[in-house]
Amino acid sequence: MNRSASRGFFRTSLMLLVAAVASTLPATAASATVPAEVSQHARVGARADAARGCAIVYFDLGETLVHTAEDSSTGYMPGAAAYLRELRERHIKVGLITNVPSSWGETDAERAAALKKEVDGSWKGSAPFAWKDFGDRIRTPRTEAERKPAPILWERARAEADGCRLVYQAETAEETEVAASLGYVAYRIGQPFRPAYLPARVIEMLARGPR
């Protein structure tokens, strides 16, 4: 295949992937009412982002972005660091929706801090995990009943999105199916003949599309 044909094949494949993802979207919007405790300033800023196109990409953590080896050490999944870097360069926000013991803290922030300590304590990658990219968008169960695949963590993240397109990426069909049923663009990673992660260009297209 010559270079021109190769570029054409890539563009065609990309558009087919966009069409396949779009076909999974529900007819209703993926947004929900923002909790009252979110400030008016934050709501106005989020609505402005939504008007010009925005997306938040949520991930599972284990075996989606981070791999745990047989010796219990942790490191990036293949391609994960580069993918997060590309999303960062394109100003696409990211978050985590991940199960941890509810006993790790009373708040998302406390449980996120315990999660960071747990991962960093066994990390053997050459570059540290990009915690800063996720900010305060780390959703964890407040009770054991909230653990995935219960829908509450996706619902909490959706309630704070205020109109932005929501994407969820994970390695299991069960989780991606639940996310899709709640209005997320769900992408199961690690599938043959597909990109390891949903291409950033596709996410940008989805962000600008109808909700």
Residue 34 pLDDT class (50, 70, 90 cuts): very low
Q: Which residues pair with 95 in a beta bridge?
A: 58
State pLDDT tens for residues 112-135: 999 999 999 999 988 999 999 999
The residue among 195, 211, 206, 200 whose CA lies nearest residue 94 is 200
At residue 105, does pLDDT exceed 70? Answer: yes
Q: What is the pLDDT of residue 189?
A: 98
Angle at 196 between CA 125 and CA 126, to 5 degrees: 10
Domain boundaries, the chain: 3-208
Q: Go through the chain and tell me how many residues it has.
A: 211
State pLDDT tens for residues 144-187: 999 999 999 999 999 999 889 999 999 999 999 999 999 999 99
Domain 3-208: homologous superfamily in CATH: HAD superfamily/HAD-like (3.40.50.1000)
Q: Strand order of the sheet with strand 55-59?
A: 138-139, 93-97, 55-59, 165-170, 185-188
Between 39 and 186, where is the model more confident? 186
- Amino acid at residue number 41: H
